[in-house]
Amino acid sequence: MTWEIVIGIETHVQLATRSKIFSSASTAFGAPPNTQASVVDLALPGTLPVMNKQAVEFAIKFGLAVNDGQTHNIARRSIFARKNYFYPDLPKGYQISQFELPVVTGGFVDIQVGEGDTATTKRINLTRAHLEEDAGKSLHEGLETPGVSGIDLNRAGTPLLEIVSEPEMRSAAEAVAYAKALHGIVTWIGICDGNMQEGSFRCDANVSVRKPGEPLGTRCEIKNVNSFRFLERAINYEVRRQIELIEDGGKVIQQTRLYDADRDETRAMRSKEDAMDYRYFPDPDLLPLAINETQIETTRGLMLRDGVIDVPGSTRQQLIDAYDLSVYDAQLLTQSRAFATCFFAAYNSSGEQAKLCANWINGDLASQLNRDGIELADSPVNGDQLGRLVKRIADGTLSSKMAKEVFGYMWAGEHGGDADAIIEARGLKQVTDTGAIEKIIDDVLAKNEKSVAEFKSGKEKAIQALIGQVMKASQGKANPGQVNELLRKKLAE
Amino acid sequence: MFSSLAMRTITDFSRALAAKQVSAVELATDVLAKATAAKGLNAFLHVDADLTLAEARAADKHIAAGVTSKPLLGVPIAHKDIFVTRGWRSTAGSKMLANYVSPFDATVVERLRAAGTVCVGKLNCDEFAMGSSNENSAFGPVQNPWDTGRIPGGSSGGSAAAVAAGIVPATTGTDTGGSLRQPAAMTGITAIKPTYGRVSRYGMIAFASSLDQGGPMAHTAEDCALVLDAMAGFDERDSTSLDSEKAKVSIWQGFSAQIASKPRPNGEFAGLRIGVPEEFFTEGLSADVSTRVTEAIDTFKKHGATVVDISLPRTALAIPAYYVIAPAEASSNLSRFDGIRFGHRAAHYADLNDMIATSRAEGFGREVQRRILTGTYVLSHGYYDAYYLQAQRVRRLIAQDFQTAFKSCDFIMGPVAPTTAWKIGEKSSDPVAMYLEDIFTLGVSLAGLPGMSVPCGFDHQKLPVGLQIIGNYFEEPAMLAAAHRYQQLTDWHLQIPGGGK
């Protein structure tokens, strides 16, 4: 009997608010240590937390985005609680979080399972999402005095939305698909910058294995995974470890494990026995967080204005239904708001060439981004420019091969990435003048009597060699369709 | 040289300043001299003449410029060391913060300065406001000006002693379970703990966040009204600060309207219904206190008030409920004192955990440690429901009991504390006996209601007794006005230690 893998994911999403969740200090990343910590973040005596309204608005946005715009999953009253423990980078000696009554309960994320045209949709339900503050950072290396640890409280008080999924993923691939879909949602609705390297989007995976039909196995929580690739590798390692352990007669112990990317393994950090008693209790410094219908509807209005009430799920469906794209194309185009925005811009400037635009964005553009290791937001070629290139393919000005060449020049920034200017300057127009093509054909036919004879004796394939010769003679500028058509006419004469 | 010896109230001080009989600088100099002369009381923890005189000079400039928008211009006051101040150290009576200077002022400090007051210094208190006798201060006990061998009450003991000894006309204090009312009663002065949320807690070093409330201490109800008016008001830096319509009504205006003279043919207090809870007059109450408080209530009755018998059935339960909730919050509030960013850090330690543990063991006194341990225990897994949640349920019931009582009366009156001031050291070995002293004040704190202490006489040893007046939410102006009118009929509040008036 095979093993069934059970995965649930907890994600810490850093909210892209201007200031911290309970103080007015800035949340900008990368400032010199302790320059973005106010008296509140330092927990100086007498200081008190004040709720950041933008963080609440972001939580509402998330609630709307993961529930088809329905509002019953958004708590009208939620409670901030204190999670008590001592650590040098936790200034108050407690973290303000939400425990019993979180701001969002329920919702779902749809993920694509499988690839290509056989891809299907699977719904992953969310348990909850709650607001909390981040801790600071302890620095144990790279300080001027050796053997001394430093504390940077710039991050202390940065707002987080912790999103907890149900344990409904059944493979590392599904877990990655979920993480990517969630990443897509939070960046799409603009509540997170999605930067995994800077820790803006952090996933912890709860992994267990069982025989199908049996109760849930003992789980381990994997922490410290800062890319989708590592998430997949960490889960696969952990699954192997657990199966081997059980098959060797051992037992999985509930513990927290750290993923070490260099050695591609997970290591035990602490087990349940040493789990701390956090002594949660409602924070008496903060009133219950009240959210009313007006706030929810105002937020919905903002999302409609920004065009983000369309969460990836529904835009994906729109791409399939109204733009006639494949599930696979639609999935790729909705991996982030940037991709979708790029597609719609390209579609508009290309003369509504949906399929061609999708091919170009998911193909040449995506692989070029990948090669250069940059984000779509930083791409030298934007959707509008790409659309204008696609337009020239559609109207026959460029062959697809020539279009790739033009794209290369656009990427290099020639003529401000303007396809038409490049075509003009480089003389890359397809030859569509019948007379000119006929002249080349006559020339080629005269020089390739053997191929002509073969074709006439019924060898259909011989025409490919002749087309190739014509294209070569035209330096690739002749319209291949026209060449085909004229050549057959001549050979039939 | 000018002497403020005969001056007691803010009105006295303001009148002298307005008449240019004395400048703010002269007044401040005189008050600083009185503070030095009364050093034996140990009421002040930090005095800095330069800082005080700078504020006094600023006040004199405003006086010279004819500024009228500052109701307390030039009036010397002092702050309980629970309020953080720029310049003066802010220790909360703890070794943990022995050298701590705050980079910002508490909202209360800021507002009183804006109202024109001149700060004379910081006042001794029980460590982190935990105590009923001021014996828990890391900087030594405060003496009661009425009998220097006795405690002044706590935790605002320094604030009470400084007013009672006639050093300053008013001080700030804080009340978590009675810390304004009880020391006021023990030193024969007037104090009011406002409705929870009236006075900003920003810059008040937290003891128990859901109970802590700042308030004024002075000789008269009128002075309390003046100072509270300047202290109170919505503060966006405190999320529990009140912003309702009722909270916006000015305390001074409300008070003034209430005391405006009008014919009261049926007596000064005609129409006033006073509820007297039977649970406040039980065996633990000393005979002298019982007699004086009953006489005070009789004075109200004699002048037209109606007295109704009421019941606050869960009065005794307030003690266990309070001693679960307050330590629970304190255990968490005091976690920030870890020796890492500020405050006391142990000189010797093995590792990080040991550094935090040793710093806290050295920095906190016994009572603070006892409450942190209690609080940690009641919040622990497996005990939370039985202690913390249960205490919160009792708290709600106690609040309901008060609302039931207020259906049949306007104010509730009774003793502030079961006894008068005890001898220094008398109860310090028995924390439970000390906790029982708070029985009449804790319920008011748990319910978040306003409560006052008004001088109402002396026991056979010439130790002051306080009358507690409890009102419904936002009733401070009416309570202060009733107390003021009582003080027009009596002179307990004008008596000074050492005899005379």
ipTM, two decimals, is 0.96
Domain spans of chain B, in order of start: 10-244
Asked if A83 has any chain B CB less than 8 Å from its own CB, the reply is no
Indicate yes or no: CB of B237 within 8 angstroms of CB of A286: no
The residues, ordered by sequence, that sit 6+ positions from B404 with a Cβ below 8 Å of its Cβ are: none
User: What predicted TM-score, i.e. pTM, was given to this entire model?
Assistant: 0.86
Mean pLDDT across chain B: 95
- What's the rounded Cα separation, in Å, for the pair B231 and B217? 12
The residues, ordered by sequence, that sit 6+ positions from B40 with a Cβ below 8 Å of its Cβ are: B143, B148
Indicate yes or no: CB of A48 within 8 angstroms of CB of B239: yes
Higher confidence at residue B446 or residue A480?
B446
Measured between alpha carbons, how far is residue B451 from residues B132, B416, B472, B477, B479 in Å? 17, 9, 9, 12, 8
Count of CB pairs separated by less than 8 Å, A with B: 98
Closest Cα of chain B to A196: distance in Å?
A: 30
* B190-193, strands of its sheet edge to edge: B44-46, B118-123, B76-80, B170-175, B213-218, B190-193, B451-458, B464-470, B411-415, B273-277, B306-310
pLDDT at residue number A272: 65
B95 catalytically annotated: no
Closest Cα of chain B to A288: distance in Å?
A: 10
- Report the C-alpha dihedral over residues A345, A347, A349, A350, rounded to 10 degrees: 150
- Express each pLDDT in A191-227 by its tens digit: 999 999 899 999 999 999 999 989 999 999 999 788 9
Domain spans of chain A, in order of start: 4-290, 336-426, 434-492
Which residues of chain B from 156 to 215 reach within 8 Å of chain A, CB to CB? 201-206, 208-210
Which residue of A lies nearest to B375 if distances are taken between CA atoms? Answer: A279
Closest Cα of chain A to B332: distance in Å?
A: 7
- Smallest Cβ–Cβ distance between A48 and the set B103, B210, B238 belongs to B238
Which residue of B lies nearest to A148 if distances are taken between CA atoms? Answer: B352
- Express each pLDDT in B433-480 by its tens digit: 888 889 999 999 999 999 999 999 999 999 999 999 999 999 999 999
- What's the rounded Cα separation, in Å, for the pair A117 and A132? 40
Residue closest to B4 by CA, chosen among B116, B129, B120, B102: B120
- Express each pLDDT in B380-417 by its tens digit: 999 999 999 999 999 999 999 999 999 999 999 999 99
- Express each pLDDT in A63-119 by its tens digit: 999 987 789 999 999 999 999 999 999 999 999 999 999 999 999 998 888 876 677
Classified by CATH at the fold level, domain B10-244 comes out as: Amidase signature (AS) enzymes (3.90.1300)
- Smallest Cβ–Cβ distance between B341 and the set A42, A84, A286 belongs to A42
R_g (Cα) of chain B, nearest Å: 21
Pairing of strands B44-46, B118-123: antiparallel
Q: Catalytic one among B80, B95, B122, B193?
A: B80
Indicate yes or no: CB of B204 within 8 angstroms of CB of A46: yes
pLDDT at residue number B283: 80
Which conformational region is residue B339 in: left (phi greater than 0), alpha (psi within -120 to 50 degrees), or beta?
left
* pLDDT class of A28 with cuts at 50, 70, 90: confident
Measured between alpha carbons, how far is residue A161 from residues A42, A60, A62 in Å? 22, 11, 9
- Express each pLDDT in B139-158 by its tens digit: 999 999 999 999 999 999 99
Which conformational region is residue B327 in: left (phi greater than 0), alpha (psi within -120 to 50 degrees), or beta?
alpha
Q: Is 60 exceeded by the pLDDT of residue B501?
A: no
Closest Cα of chain A to B453: distance in Å?
A: 26
Which residues of chain B from 88 to 107 reach within 8 Å of chain A, CB to CB? 90, 92, 97, 100, 102-104, 106
Q: List chain A residues with CB under 8 Å of B107.
A: none
Please give the share of chain B, as a percent, with pLDDT higher than 70. Answer: 98
Min mean pLDDT across A299-308, A378-387, B460-469 is at A299-308
Q: List chain A residues with CB under 8 Å of B329.
A: 284
Classified by CATH at the fold level, domain A434-492 comes out as: Arc Repressor Mutant, subunit A (1.10.10)
Measured between alpha carbons, how far is residue A446 from residues A426, A491, B20 in Å? 30, 12, 122
- Express each pLDDT in B210-242 by its tens digit: 999 999 999 999 999 999 999 999 999 999 999
Strands (E), A375-447: none
B179 catalytically annotated: yes
Residue closest to B120 by CA, chosen among B89, B79, B161: B79
B80 catalytically annotated: yes
- What's the rounded Cα separation, in Å, for the pair B13 and B9? 7
Helical H segments across B96-242, by residue range: 107-114, 157-164, 181-187, 221-231
Indicate yes or no: CB of A88 within 8 angstroms of CB of B83: no
Indicate yes or no: CB of B239 within 8 angstroms of CB of A49: yes
Indicate yes or no: CB of A44 within 8 angstroms of CB of B342: yes
- Smallest Cβ–Cβ distance between A285 and the set B102, B209, B381 belongs to B209
Indicate yes or no: CB of B379 within 8 angstroms of CB of A286: no
Q: Is 60 exceeded by the pLDDT of residue A311?
A: no
Higher confidence at residue B340 or residue A116?
B340
Which residue of A lies nearest to B203 if distances are taken between CA atoms? Answer: A46
pLDDT at residue number B432: 82
Measured between alpha carbons, how far is residue B408 from residues A300, B194, B296, B445, B476 in Å? 49, 22, 20, 21, 18
- Smallest Cβ–Cβ distance between B239 and the set A88, A279, A286 belongs to A286
Q: List chain A residues with CB under 8 Å of B203.
A: 46-47
Indicate yes or no: CB of B83 within 8 angstroms of CB of A43: no
Which of B91, B125, B336 is the best mutation test for A, with the most CBs of A within 10 A? B336
Q: Are B305 and B269 in contact (CB under 8 A)?
A: yes
Which residue of B lies nearest to A152 if distances are taken between CA atoms? Answer: B341
Q: Catalytic one among B4, B133, B159, B179?
A: B179
pLDDT at residue number A148: 82
